[in-house]
Structure 1
């Protein structure tokens, strides 16, 4: 596989992953604040299909983003460096956390539909807990290590590196403060910014691949001309 095709496929994984996750977040709303468990049951039955569809999109989007992140480490020639290994480990953990969260969404739906209010309540509490656990460790580790990988490799714009490091530091602070103060709205905004950053990196890969394809023939022609003249 050519480098150009590889970069394009990697970028498509990233873009599709971002789209899937953003759609899942928009169609899978949280239950009304302050609602009782029985009100949540009624609400959940009315939104069952959207919640299930959003759960599938979240799991699939997380898988695509994991592939995208690991491919970025590969493009940066950092798969055997500590910073690269930390990035890969964080990406795998994030995908795992996302799938566990999806499992709790499905468990909550099954509990609500089956009338198991205890299972529903436990699932809802675990969803909130795992969402916060995501911000405490894996998200900051991913952004900080990936930002370092991209900065050292010099194959990506330093703007992307600085933004990744900034987002990573922000996530770390929110993870600490959010342990004591509810900050989910702020955290959701930062997560949306993270997805925009992933999309921008993917677009940059596509643009870079196109530039490579247009400059390669001219280089080959120059080499051929030099051989003829010699």
Structure 2
């Protein structure tokens, strides 16, 4: 595979991942604040299709963004560095958390439709818990680690690494404070900026694909000896 095509494919994964996740956040609304279980059941039945579609988009979007992260590591030649390993590990944890959250969305819907209030209540509480677990460690670790990778290479402009550091530190702070007091609105703002950051990197990869193609050898698989 040519280096240009590889960069474009990685970028496309990033763009599609951002689009899927932003669409998921847009069509999958949260239950009304302060609503009782009975009110949530009625609300859930009215929005069932949107919640299920949003859950599917979240799972697919998270997977595509992890592929994007791993592709960036390959392009940067950082798959065997400590920062690269941390990025890969954190990205794997993130997609795992995302699919667990998606499972709780589907579990909540199933509980509400069947009248199983215990399952519905537990699922709703676990959704909030797993969302915060995402911010406590894997999200900031992923941003700071990939920021180090981008800083040490010329894959994209260094301004992207500085933004990654700022976003990572912001999530560390919000993750800690959010353990004691609700901070989800502030966290959502930072995560939205993160998605724009992913999109900007992906567009940059496409914009620079032709320029670097002549100077970069085709991407080949690497076999590790025993």
The interval holding the TM-score normalised by the smaller chain is over 0.9
Match of 1:195 in 2: 195
- Is structure 2 residue 105 aligned with structure 1 residue 105? yes
Larger RCO, structure (CA 8 Å, separation 6 or more): 2
Match of 1:12 in 2: 12
Match of 1:171 in 2: 171
Q: Distance in 2 between matches of 1:27 and 1:132?
A: 21
Quick check: which has more Rg, 1 or 2? Answer: 1
Report deviation, 1:146. 0.3
SS in 2 for 1:155: coil
Q: Distance in 2 between matches of 1:129 and 1:22?
A: 21
Q: Distance in 2 between matches of 1:212 and 1:201?
A: 15
Q: Distance in 1 between matches of 2:38 and 2:48?
A: 15
Larger relative helix fraction? 1
Match of 2:125 in 1: 125
In the TM superposition, 1:134-173 aligns within 5 A as: 134-173=134-173
In the TM superposition, 1:48-87 aligns within 5 A as: 48-87=48-87
Q: Distance in 2 between matches of 1:85 and 1:56?
A: 28
Q: Distance in 1 between matches of 2:141 and 2:40?
A: 34
Q: Distance in 1 between matches of 2:154 and 2:8?
A: 19
SS in 1 for 2:208: helix
Q: Distance in 1 between matches of 2:58 and 2:38?
A: 26
Report deviation, 1:156. 1.7
SS in 2 for 1:99: helix
Unaligned runs of 5+ in 1: 218-230
Report deviation, 1:211. 2.7
Q: Distance in 2 between matches of 1:15 and 1:40?
A: 34
Task: Tell me the TM-score normalized by structure 1.
Answer: 0.92
Unaligned runs of 5+ in 2: 216-226
Match of 1:29 in 2: 29
Match of 2:41 in 1: 41
SS in 1 for 2:155: coil
Report deviation, 1:159. 0.4
Q: Distance in 2 between matches of 1:40 and 1:46?
A: 10
Q: Distance in 2 between matches of 1:83 and 1:146?
A: 7
Match of 1:222 in 2: none
Deviations 1:16-59 (A, max 9, x none): 00000000000001000000000000000000000000000000
Q: Distance in 1 between matches of 2:183 and 2:211?
A: 42
Report deviation, 1:179. 0.6
Deviations 1:94-133 (A, max 9, x none): 0000000000000000000000001000000000000001
Match of 2:223 in 1: none
Report deviation, 1:153. 1.6
Q: Distance in 1 between matches of 2:155 and 2:123?
A: 43
Paired residues, number: 215
